[in-house]
Structure 1
Amino acid sequence: MLGLLLLASCLWLGHGEVVKSFEECSEFFYAGTTPNDALNPKNPALICQRFKNTYHFATLYDRDNRIPVYSAYRYEPSNVKKPPEWWLVEPQLIDKNLNLKDMEWDKVLREKYGITLDKIKESQAVPDDYKDLTDLDRGHLCPSGHMNSKESKMATFTLTNIVPQYSSLNNGKWRTYEHQKMMKKTADCKSTYVVTGAVPGSTKVSGGRVNRPSYIWSAACCLGENSQPKDAWGAIAQNDKNRVEVISLKELEKKLTDLYGKTVTLFNNACPREQKSHP
């Protein structure tokens, strides 16, 4: 946590939604503890994802690769209808002087505020980057199906929460994990904290603008009746195969440590590293 805050203090990371630390939206991390700085990209942005004047989740964004490193949220699925796929962008990645704290549609930025598409594209991915991809989808890190309101579901449709994900995986085993496995594994949890991320890959799409991750991963920490962690687990998938491994948090952190070449810690130490339940 200290390393992340020190790194952020050395960089201008904006105000309001793009923040200097995750303190403004620490509620999305168990005990306010973020993943350690092993995951930090060279050019990060810390985003408290704000829509309709409310924070809905948190994202560490990689400005250079134009993909999120991870999104952190509380798992609160509901029967609220999935909203239309209206893709949003982050104004404060564009210009620190923009007094726009909420994510916004790029069309609004262009027509209402006179911001050119080229200017938006300098700082992040835009809808056109995902238009003509082959065998790749716009893959959510924080999925709309894990949110509990219309507004929070809409907030997940920001391109700072999206990576190019292998279509067969996104619509196959990863979807099964998100919507079926998670429901079973959290059945006895009073609340569950989730961090879902993407390991940058060696290739890019959309004319070299957007990195295609090599792996997609997710970690969960389950709290019991006393609001203390009772279980934790992880999932990881290569982003070119329709296969997901559900493993312990310890195993996931080890795999990410090998992939990043630095020791990775995803949750507060109170979250169990050995998996306790195997539904």
Structure 2
Amino acid sequence: MPFEMLSSDVNITYITSFLTVADPCHLYVLTADHCHPFLPALLVLGEAIHVVTLLGPIGASKRCTANHALGWTNALVVHTADDFLDNIIQRTHTKYQLESHLQLVMMSSHHPHGGCPLALVILLLVSMDPTATEVVRSVSDCAKFFLEETPPEIPGVLQHGTIQDQNRYKPICQTFYNTRRFMTLYDTDKKIPVFSAYRYTGHTVDRPSAIWKGEPQLETATSTEVNMRKMKKPTHQASLIDYKSKTYNKGHLFPSSHASDKVVQESTFTMTNAVPQDKTFNVGSWGRMEENVKDRMDELCYNQNDQIEAFVVTGAIPSANTPPLNNKVNIPTILWTAFCCFNKDSGKWLTSAHWGDNNANTPRLETKTLLQLRDTHRPA
């Protein structure tokens, strides 16, 4: 993929002259230098891409320059990430469809000298967010997030690795930047996850400013969409508007504070990884427990390769009596979490569990065993 660097004082004459002699068979991407981390998302087009990087920030005047220069081309001009999502991603939801769509747009105009289509130029002034996820047939498709690839036993829901009601419960391999980051079993009836499972390999600091998205494949079983995107009124999952509340907020099951880097952090911001959690409980006893567990895993969970590694499963027990939040999303009565890891110093496996009522009065969460978790919340 060829690159060309232009100085930040590039002007309309240079841009116009550059595009006049540019190879019309290529896709030209004008981007600010801070967008480089997001360029791999465009590699799907391979040799069809020519990246022109404008060094330095692009202000209003530079934006007008680009618009004017592109006025004579069949160009798609995008100023924000939302524009890009609205104009491209929401119409083309797989890499193949995106490539096909761009090729069609490029071919809709012809080069004045014949032969090849005019260059399609996309002006990206902010980052892209190429988040992808995948609804799969079986929990075993994401088994690497469980210790010894063995999922938990959830009576009436998941037994011996088999989903009891496959029309209601959907396993999701949560994928971000083409890598599966964690696994979620989602309840399309209650509109909350049953649990999320992940491998803890250390943590990063700071909470990212990420966009909450939805899962298109939950809406249509035959959908080929794999990219998360904004969803205004989904039927089989919760949306942002469903969480409007003074009492509850979006509680991560896989907390962003347990993510190993910023990319993994951003992958946790999906509505399929959240439940309505009492705000006081979230930032209080539950939040303190998450920090304590993180510190303990950092201290004790080292595998034979001397690397931090723990397997964590966090879930929610739906309410049978509490009215749904905004008449749609079940408010769980209890949140629970458990982890297991190997401690190379002792040569033993370590486990612990925590759970608490989803309300403002829940006291400090005591460390329990996995057997206590199972016996306490086993259906009568």
TM-score computed with the length of structure 1 as normaliser? 0.77
Aligned-pair CA distance for 1:134? 2.3
**What do residues 189-220 of structure 1 show as CA deviations (whole Å, max 9, x unaligned)?**
11110000000012133332000000000011
| Higher percent of residues as strand | 1
Query: What is the CA–CA distance in structure 1 between the aligned matches of 2:252 and 2:225, rounded to whole Å?
Result: 23
Q: Is the 8 A contact 1:69 1:199 kept in 2?
A: yes
**What do residues 195-253 of structure 1 show as CA deviations (whole Å, max 9, x unaligned)?**
00000012133332000000000011011229976110100100113322321111111
Written as runs of structure 1 = structure 2, the 5 A alignment for 1:61-72 is 61-72=186-197
CA shift in 2, pair 1:184/1:237, >3 Å:
same
Query: What is the CA–CA distance in structure 1 between the aligned matches of 2:312 and 2:348, rounded to whole Å?
Result: 13
- Residue 183 of structure 1 aligns to a residue in which SS? helix
Written as runs of structure 1 = structure 2, the 5 A alignment for 1:157-176 is 157-176=269-288
Equivalence for 2:137: 20
Amino acid at match of 1:188: L
Aligned-pair CA distance for 1:68? 0.4
CA shift in 2, pair 1:25/1:93, >3 Å:
same
Equivalence for 2:342: 223
Aligned-pair CA distance for 1:23? 2.5
Aligned-pair CA distance for 1:140? 0.5
Which one of 300, 310, 316 corresponds to residue 192 of structure 1? 310
Q: Is the 8 A contact 1:25 1:58 kept in 2?
A: yes
Q: Is the 8 A contact 2:204 2:258 kept in 1?
A: no
Equivalence for 1:142: 254
Q: Is the 8 A contact 1:91 1:100 kept in 2?
A: yes
Say whether residues 1:152 and 2:264 are aligned partners: yes
Equivalence for 2:372: 251
CA shift in 2, pair 1:249/1:79, >3 Å:
same
Query: What is the CA–CA distance in structure 1 between the aligned matches of 2:170 and 2:202, rounded to whole Å?
Result: 27
- Residue 354 of structure 2 aligns to a residue in which SS? strand
Q: Is the 8 A contact 2:204 2:259 kept in 1?
A: no
Which one of 82, 89, 103 corresponds to residue 207 of structure 2? 82
Aligned-pair CA distance for 1:182? 3.1
Amino acid at match of 2:310: T
Q: Is the 8 A contact 1:39 1:69 kept in 2?
A: no
Aligned-pair CA distance for 1:96? 2.5
Q: Over the residues paired in the alignment, what is the CA RMSD in angstroms?
A: 2.1
Q: Is the 8 A contact 1:66 1:211 kept in 2?
A: yes
**What do residues 116-144 of structure 1 show as CA deviations (whole Å, max 9, x unaligned)?**
x34x2x1100000112x122121000001
Query: What is the CA–CA distance in structure 2 between the aligned matches of 1:81 and 1:65, rounded to whole Å?
Result: 31
Aligned length: 231
Q: Is the 8 A contact 1:94 1:123 kept in 2?
A: yes
Q: Is the 8 A contact 1:28 1:193 kept in 2?
A: yes
Q: Is the 8 A contact 1:53 1:102 kept in 2?
A: no
Amino acid at match of 1:155: S
Amino acid at match of 2:256: S
Amino acid at match of 1:184: R
**Quick check: which has more Rg, 1 or 2?**
2
Percent identical pairs in the alignment equals 35
CA shift in 2, pair 1:226/1:50, >3 Å:
farther
> Structure 1: which 5+ residue stretches go unaligned?
1-15, 107-116, 262-279
Query: What is the CA–CA distance in structure 1 between the aligned matches of 2:323 and 2:181, rounded to whole Å?
Result: 29
Query: What is the CA–CA distance in structure 2 between the aligned matches of 1:229 and 1:89, rounded to whole Å?
Result: 40
- Residue 260 of structure 2 aligns to a residue in which SS? coil
Query: What is the CA–CA distance in structure 2 between the aligned matches of 1:225 and 1:36, rounded to whole Å?
Result: 27
Equivalence for 1:211: 330
> Structure 2: which 5+ residue stretches go unaligned?
1-132, 158-163, 303-308
Question: Which one scores higher on RCO, CA 8 angstroms, separation ≥ 6?
Answer: 1
CA shift in 2, pair 1:165/1:140, >3 Å:
same
Say whether residues 1:32 and 2:157 are aligned partners: no
Which one of 124, 148, 167 corresponds to residue 237 of structure 2? 124
Equivalence for 2:180: 55
Query: What is the CA–CA distance in structure 2 between the aligned matches of 1:56 and 1:45, rounded to whole Å?
Result: 17
Q: Which moved more, 1:93-102 or 1:37-46?
A: 37-46
Which one of 362, 365, 370 corresponds to residue 242 of structure 1? 362
